[in-house]
Amino acid sequence: MKILYVASAIVAPGSHGGATHVVEVSRELAKLGHEIHVICARPNRKEPARLTLAVEGGTPIEFYRHSLPKFTAIALYPLVKKLAKALKPDLIMERYYNFAGSGMLFASRHHLPSLLEVNALILDPLSSPKRRLDRTLLFNRLKWWSEKQCCWATRIITPLHTTIPAAIPREKIIELPWGANVDMFDPTRIEPTEQMRLRQELGIPEKANVLAFAGSFRHWHGVEVLVEAAKLAIPQDNNLYILMLGGGPLFEQIQNEVVDSGLTERVILTGAIPYQKMPLYLSLAHAGVAPFDTSKHAPLREAGFYWSPLKIFEYMALALPSIVPDFRPLNEIIRQGQEGLLFREGDANDLARAILELLSPNNIIERECMGASARIRVVESFSWRSHCASLDAVMVASNRVFFDNIAAFC
């Protein structure tokens, strides 16, 4: 099948989570025999507008990269039209963005099957500034446009159906979790000499108990809770080190707090890490942590935890047991005592308890069993390969639905 994949707001290839998603989905679909053409953004005008990415075991992926600002994404319609006319795709797939929609619009106008990928709330919470602006000054035109994108799509792919407005029929929505690159994040592929060099560079002793966090330094990612837990746990374990990988708005605040607490040797902040180096950095750890705090993010409070967090899947792929908050769906991905441990969301004391328990010298065998279980589980259920196998089935069904004239629910 020839697929035009519109990801207008995403800079790809790249190291951001959105770029990872687009490239991995494209790569796995190519391995299944599909021909993939991606419209996306480029980092700057010095970078090539056209890029070809070779795929082992599949057809090369073609990237067509623009330089428009994100909020003008709908202006890409002429490019979508030009490429679609030349390529004659069998299906158009688009990654949802408020100000995008050119892929869904073209598919609707030209009677093509289409899939809309949704990674966030289609409609912002009523209390959000953007939603208030839309109601008071724009006469709900943003809401109308967002819902139209859903209406035009033959099928909608999302980790949790609550991201989609209630006006859209439930049968149109397919819930699929995202995944991990289980070949890239494979513990058997880590080079021991590189591992030793990096450990020495970061000042982590060989016999240290290492807990890793990888992600964005934002309130709802729980970095503040993690630092509070570190203050409680480190004095109780002389071998405990916490490796925090990533950057974001709270990076400087967290860095200052670590310094003020006298924990600079034991809490190591690396800043942003290139995606290709992430497996090596994570391989220094004995466990991973994802201390999400939904109370700090209005969309998560409103719709539930609709993220399908790559970091947890990548921990699992590296056979790292994980510590996550005890709420759905995280407690269904990481099951208590099977792939890791759970703690009460936002509770630094309980997180410290889980850290000390999981990294205790008395729990080495149990921890290794959890890691092995995590690796098996992610390969079977939460890999990009398994995601795209399911996506492939949805595409085939979408073509049947479309041509049977039952796709127009709206």
Please name the residue that has the structure tokens 């690159």.
181
pLDDT at 128: 78
Query: Which 8-state DSSP code applies to residue 336?
Result: B
Which pLDDT belongs to residue 4? 98
pLDDT band, very low/low/confident/very high, at 298 (cuts 50, 70, 90): confident
Sheet with 267-271: list strands edge to edge: 267-271, 240-245, 209-214, 287-289, 322-325, 340-343
Partners of 242 in the beta sheet?
211, 267
Question: What is the sign, positive or negative, of the torsion defined by CA atoms of 280, 351, 329, 96?
Answer: negative
pLDDT tens for 256-284 read 999 999 999 999 999 999 999 999 999 99
Does the pLDDT value for residue 37 go beyond 90? yes
CB 36 within 8 A of CB 3: yes
- Alpha carbon distance 286, 319 (integer Å): 9
Half-sphere exposure of 323 (CA within 13 A, CB side): 32
Q: Residue 407 — very low, low, confident or very high, per pLDDT cuts 50/70/90?
A: very low
pLDDT of 251 reads: 97
DSSP 163: G
pLDDT band of 406, cuts 50, 70, 90: very low
The whole-number pLDDT of residue 120 equals 87
What does the pLDDT read at residue 402? 60
Would you state the pLDDT for residue 38? Answer: 98
- Using the structure block, give the residue that is written with the tokens 């109370």: 295
What pLDDT does 398 receive? 74
Q: Tell me the backbone φ, ψ of residue 207, rounded to 5 degrees.
A: -100, 15
CB atoms within 10 A of CB 110: 12
| Span 335-359, average pLDDT | 98
Contact predicate 64/50, CB 8 Å: yes
Cα–Cα distance, 45 to 297 (Å, whole number): 34
Does residue 316 have a pLDDT over 90? yes
How many residues does the structure list for the chain?
A: 410
Pairing, β 2-11 against β 91-95: parallel
Residue for token pair 């819930």: 175
Q: What is the token pair recorded at 310? A: 């790559």
pLDDT at 360: 95
Domains, the chain, ranges and CATH?
A: 2-179+384-403 (3.40.50.2000), 187-381 (3.40.50.2000)
71-75, 106-110, 196-200, 335-339 — which is least confidently predicted?
71-75
The predicted model gives 139-151 an average pLDDT of: 90
Round the average pLDDT of the chain to a whole number and report it: 93
Q: Which two tokens stand for residue 306?
A: 């609709």
Q: Is 2 helix (H, G, I), strand (E, B) or coil?
A: strand
Note the pLDDT of residue 404. 58
Q: What is the mean pLDDT of residues 16-38?
A: 95
The bridge status of strand 35-41 relative to strand 50-53 is unpaired
Model pLDDT for residues 65-123, shown as the tens digit of each residue: 999 998 888 899 999 999 999 999 999 999 999 889 999 999 999 999 999 999 988 88
Of residues 406 and 249, which shows the higher confidence score? 249
Which pTM does this prediction carry?
Answer: 0.89
The per-residue pLDDT for range 174-188, each reduced to its tens digit, is 999 999 999 999 999
Are 249 and 281 in contact by the 8 Å Cβ rule? The answer is: no
